[in-house]
Amino acid sequence: MTRTFTIQPVAAPAFRLELERELNEAQRAAVTCQDGPKLVIAGAGSGKTRTITYRVAFLLSKGISPAQILLATFTNKAAREMLSRVGALTGSDATGLWGGTFHALGNRLLRWHGTLVGIKPNYTILDEEDQRDLLKVCVTECKVKIDEKRFPAPSLIGDFISMAFNTQRPLSAIIEERAPHFGIWVTELEQIARCYETKKRTANALDYDDLLRFWLKLLEECPDFAQRLGRQFRYILVDEYQDTNIIQARIVERIAAHNGGNLMVVGDDAQSIYKFRGAHYDNILKFPDRNPGTEIFKLEVNYRSTPEILEFANASILNNPSQYRKTLLANRRRGSLPIVVPTNDAYQEAAFVAQRILELRDEGASLNQMAVLYRAHSHSSILQAELIKRNISYEVRSGVRFFEQAHIKDVVAYLKILENPFDEVAWRRLWLMIPRVGQATAAKLWQTMARTSDPLEAAIGDSLRHTLPSAAQPHVQRFQKDLRALRLEVAAGEGPAALIESVLASGYLDFLRAKHEDAQSRLEDLEQLAVLARSYPTLRSFLSELILMGELYSQQISASPAADSERLILSSVHQAKGLEWKAVFLIRMCEGNFPSEMALREESGEEEERRIFYVAVTRAQDELYLTHPLIDSGPRGNSQLLLQPSRFLREIRFTLYEQGQIEVSGFPTY
């Protein structure tokens, strides 16, 4: 005979929620809804976080134990903020509530229950460096014969394997889509992926993806566990559901299948912009189809932007056919229309943006209340140079400052040895890019070259052959061929822009593709470096200016010590999601730049690009400037290409924005 003992929960401290005063009607409806599947479409600036935290507090006020609530977020910061807000509302620290990122929650569960799927509780979690090291071992053990073709770097292989898992697609399909130039290695890469999985299991180690993989496996292969989890988590809430991948959606929806369907997912389909990370748009778009009886709430009151900015944003996103239709409504007084400003070229665009920023600062706005947004990091290069010239302090949120990036330094190393063949640091950087050449070989090569009167001539000649391992010989020969071509161009008087273009047409392109998953984005950076170089007549003048910029980059750039805390924000749109500024400048609004030409080749690419545009526009609180260059010079500056304004500007009726123009010395330009 079994006796059952019931433990009564300790009564939670009494607290009162001021729902009528603190929430609008739509927010209150979502917070106080009954059980069952719920989809909350939270428009930009509509109080999404407030709604989620009040929902948790409301459940607690109804006697639900914190341990019966699961709150999944995408960042630790978001989890901490939400739990802190819940604590402030309830007067407690919400101890016992399961809140965190998907990976953190998966780790917590696997430590306790992983043995059910063959995972020992003392497993090691591999960070990115650990993964790279293990993949290097796998490459060696699989005895890949690289010959003269560059093989993808371990970090790149790891990215391919991760994307295949998170999108539930074959590795071969990922390679064909993202890096078709590695198609010749598909068989070897699949072998390495199998080796990687075997070694992880042998070592009792999990990478980040495994935390989701085995959590889902627990739910799929252990029905008792799935039912137990469903009973434990009576209510599940998921933030930013439009950013979930297939695995994450399966996890929470499978748990909800055992808790009466009490799953509330919150997000904005119009802000689904992370397909490149594996986010699956259908997770939010077709949520009601997978969860019959779903009640949908729409949060459409925006507390961030002026009516004019929201009308502009609404008009744009209306052009996407697949979406939940909604109209953002402003809770603010009317302001000024967005301003669309055509410029002659990217240089004039940078000059306009920099000058207008200074004018706004003089009018009382601080630098940190302003941001310049762009579709790709490369679009900021000319602007960064302009900001430095005008002594405007800024912070880059889209990655490393332009001139500090590895691929920029790589190409500059080529230029440096053409100008100064005795630059040892530049030579070492170049040698280490060559397969089968390591630090020891690079040191020997330099020792031999340094004893000559012309290290460049020595590098091109045959005298270094005896220093090189045989496996490196074919790669070095290609490098020497590239150096000869560059030396001839210097002799012919070619400028720095032409030399950069030649480097990009050399074997360096193979190196870039083999080392970086975002090779195309980095190539665009380098093309912008060539654009910047066009304004310099000689290689020496360009390198001198670049070095001075580098010195400035290593320091705080500000007009005065008092302004140290004020910095203009430069950011890609993806990095800006969730943030806001009083004034926003959206640059390079022309076809081929925004929308991204590469993205348009993908299925539903235009729709995602329009969502990215929508996210950018809705970051602005008071003022929005959209600029688009009209002319782009050819690769070597010897031709001019007319640029069309972005389709995202052309499809918005002209009454929703103000047309700007630029005057130079009293004459307007267009």
Residues recognised as catalytic: 48-49, 239-240, 271, 619
Helix ranges (DSSP H) in 363-421: 381-389, 406-419
Cβ atoms of 36 and 287 within 8 Å: the answer is no
Helix (H, G, I), strand (E, B) or coil at 592: strand
- Between the CA of residue 580 and those of 23, 65, 127, 554, 623, what are the distances in Å? 21, 35, 32, 27, 11
Beta bridge partners of 629: 343
Beta bridge partners of 140: none
Distance CA 109, CA 121 (A): 10
Cβ atoms of 629 and 344 within 8 Å: the answer is yes
Q: At what angle do helices 154-167 and 186-202 cross, to 10 degrees?
A: 80
Cβ atoms of 361 and 367 within 8 Å: the answer is yes
Distance CA 315, CA 652 (A): 6
DSSP 596: B
CA dihedral sign, ordered 654, 655, 656, 661: positive
Burial 331-369 (b: 16+ CB within 10 A, else e): eeeebebbbbbbbbbbbbbbbbbbebbeebbeeebebbb
Tokens of 249: 């959606």
Tokens of 196: 């990687």
- The residue with tokens 């209510």 is 235
Cβ atoms of 438 and 469 within 8 Å: the answer is no
Beta bridge partners of 85: none
Tokens of 566: 């004020």
User: Cα(first)–Cα(last) distance of the chain, in Å?
Assistant: 89
- The residue with tokens 């748009």 is 281
Helix ranges (DSSP H) in 583-646: 605-617
Q: What is the enclosing helix (H) or strand (E) of 573?
A: helix 573-576
Tokens of 369: 């209340």
